[in-house]
Amino acid sequence: MVGSAAAREEEVRAFHSILFEGPESRRGDGGEDQPAFFCDLNLDQVLDSVLTGREEYELAPFFYAKLDSGDAIRYRQEVFRDLEDDALFEAVSSFTLSMREVRRYLAMIDKLHYQRLKQGWFVEVVDAYCEAVRRLACDLAAMEVRSRGFVALRGYLSAYVGSPAFTSLCAETKELKEELAGVSYCVHIKGNRVRVRRYGSEEDYSAEVLRIFEKFKQGEVKDYRFDFHHGPGMNHVEAAILDRVALLFGEVFTKLEEYCRRRRDFIDGTIRDFDREVQFYLGYLEFIAPLKAAGLDFCYPEILEGSREVYCRDAFDLALAAKLVPEGSRVVSNDFHLGGRERVIVVTGPNQSGKTTFARMFGQLHYLCGIGCPVPGKEARLIPFDALFTHFEREEDFDNPLGKLEDDLVRIREIFREATSQSVIVINEIFSSTTLHDALFLGKKMMEQIMRLGAVCVLVTFVEELARLDDSVVSMVSVVEPENPARRTFRIERRPADGLAFAAAIAAKYGLTYDRLKRRMAP
């Protein structure tokens, strides 16, 4: 319980947002465009799944806006951890469903034609809001939460439900509902004439009539009673009757009209923001729940400012896993590690062996970590980065005046103009349109620039010499089954390049593989 008004005011100031600890770190309220790398990393597919059914909240900008510090990331990680508790998740979900109903009925009220009907529904909506807020405050008070976000929210709600503004709103709403429930009247209908008067304690004979005719009932019979309309609207006759009732009970309906005018902005702004922002967590947790149920691991990466070590165990491509799990297909996980001077991973190996998937996974891990989400993997340590860049091979655009090689060079130049030592770069199959000699020359120049920057980078390439340039470069190779090299394992292991990747690619390109030659030479 809050002991004083001063303490209550302090707790109110303590909570700013469930997504951002302070206003200085707030980003993603609007205007942010989808990052250029989203499609390359298939993060657009992930986001589409997360946001399905939550379009009304306009959450995409929060997923587009990377956090600026390790502490801001940890703030969200703490909230995610709290929401992994089923009881808290259910309490918050129940609150957001109640708030969705509040918004739905407010939208319905705007579409109604008759003013007194609007006013009656408005009282019901305010009552539903008060109940939802009280219930959430009560639930949080009874739960053990550890995150800075939920601890501050609990304090805010405790102060808010005890504030004069909220208690008077609840009391006035309850009193008005009781007064409206006490309005009783009689309607006399004769021909086309309707007369309304106060209820004069006349005896209600409906129960007696039903009792008398009960003995004549013989099994199920057709019901000839008229089914009155019970929707939120009313017709012109009902509206006219209600106007006459308002004349009979002028004091109550005057109070109702004044209530609706004064309480027009009854939803607290901070609570409205929480209802929207908490969907960021609920949507992502609901998205990964089936993957976790299938046995896939998610973790909260360790974030150490100043550290240059990067690693992850049992990581996987989140977008690909979301497709494979419903099909019952196996999801392959991989490990990676950069320590000491190591900054660049060069991935080589046969075509269609998981190299591009590994590159996407690497980018996904860093970005999801950068917005505070659990990442696909058993354990991870990642760096806070300032920007993420991708260069994935594109199909040649015949309307583009640049050739494919020139387009590659222009795009990589744009990356180097903006990248810093704190950036993450993911490059997939660059310079594949040129000769091996030219690809090696251009690849070395590109790698020299990356190493000078000191940025963390994954490069997928058929030029295996690039994996041996410097001790800051780590070679990883896609593995095939030793007994049957044609079968891919989709595992990427840290080992020296074996010198066969480019040769295999050229042989496949020109139909010179063993199987193709055998078929062509068959009698």
Q: Which two tokens stand for residue 18?
A: 């469930």
What does the longest C-alpha to C-alpha distance in the chain come to?
A: 108
Structure confidence by residue, pLDDT tens digits, 142-177: 999 999 999 999 999 999 999 999 999 999 999 999
Closest by CA position to 160, among listed 8, 351, 21: 8
Residue 225: the pLDDT is: 47
Other Cβ atoms within 10 Å of 443 Cβ, number = 22
Q: Is residue 467 within 8 Å of 497, Cβ to Cβ? A: yes
Instruction: State how far the Cα of 66 lies from the Cα of 371, in Å rounded to an integer.
Output: 5
In this structure, which amino acid lies at residue 340? G
Residues 6+ apart with CB under 8 A from 351: 504, 505, 508
Name the least confident of 112-116, 136-140, 206-210, 499-503.
499-503
Residue 117: the pLDDT is: 86
Place 497 in a pLDDT band, splitting at 50, 70 and 90: confident
Residue 115: the pLDDT is: 86
DSSP 143: S
Average pLDDT, the chain: 87
CATH hierarchy code of domain 294-521? 3.40.50.300
- For the chain, give every domain's residue range: 5-30+56-180+266-277, 184-216+232-248, 294-521
pLDDT at 212 over 90: no
pLDDT at 198 over 50: yes
Name the least confident of 15-24, 52-61, 84-93.
15-24
Residue 485: the pLDDT is: 64
Name the least confident of 3-17, 71-85, 90-104, 339-353.
3-17
Angle at 324 between CA 320 and CA 326, to 5 degrees: 130
The secondary structure of the chain in percent helix, strand, coil, rounded to multiples of 5, reads 50, 15, 35
Q: Is residue 359 within 8 Å of 426, Cβ to Cβ? A: yes
Helix (H) / strand (E) element for 252: namely: helix 250-262
Residue 233: the pLDDT is: 67
Q: Tokens 């929210």 map to which residue? A: 153
Place 205 in a pLDDT band, splitting at 50, 70 and 90: low
Structure confidence by residue, pLDDT tens digits, 395-423: 655 555 567 888 889 999 999 999 999 99
Structure confidence by residue, pLDDT tens digits, 49-75: 999 999 999 999 999 999 989 999 999
pLDDT at 25 over 70: no
Strand 193-198 to strand 344-348: parallel, antiparallel, or no bridges (unpaired)?
Answer: unpaired
Structure confidence by residue, pLDDT tens digits, 293-327: 999 999 999 997 778 899 999 999 999 999 999 99
Q: What percent of the chain has pLDDT over 70?
A: 87
Q: Is residue 439 within 8 Å of 463, Cβ to Cβ? A: yes
Contacts of 281-285 with C-beta under 8 Å, sequence gap 24+, read 281/18, 281/76, 281/79, 281/80, 281/83, 282/83, 282/89, 282/92, 282/93, 282/96, 283/50, 283/51, 283/54, 283/59, 284/50, 284/80, 284/373, 284/374, 285/80, 285/83, 285/84, 285/89
- Give the pTM: 0.84
Residue 517: the pLDDT is: 80
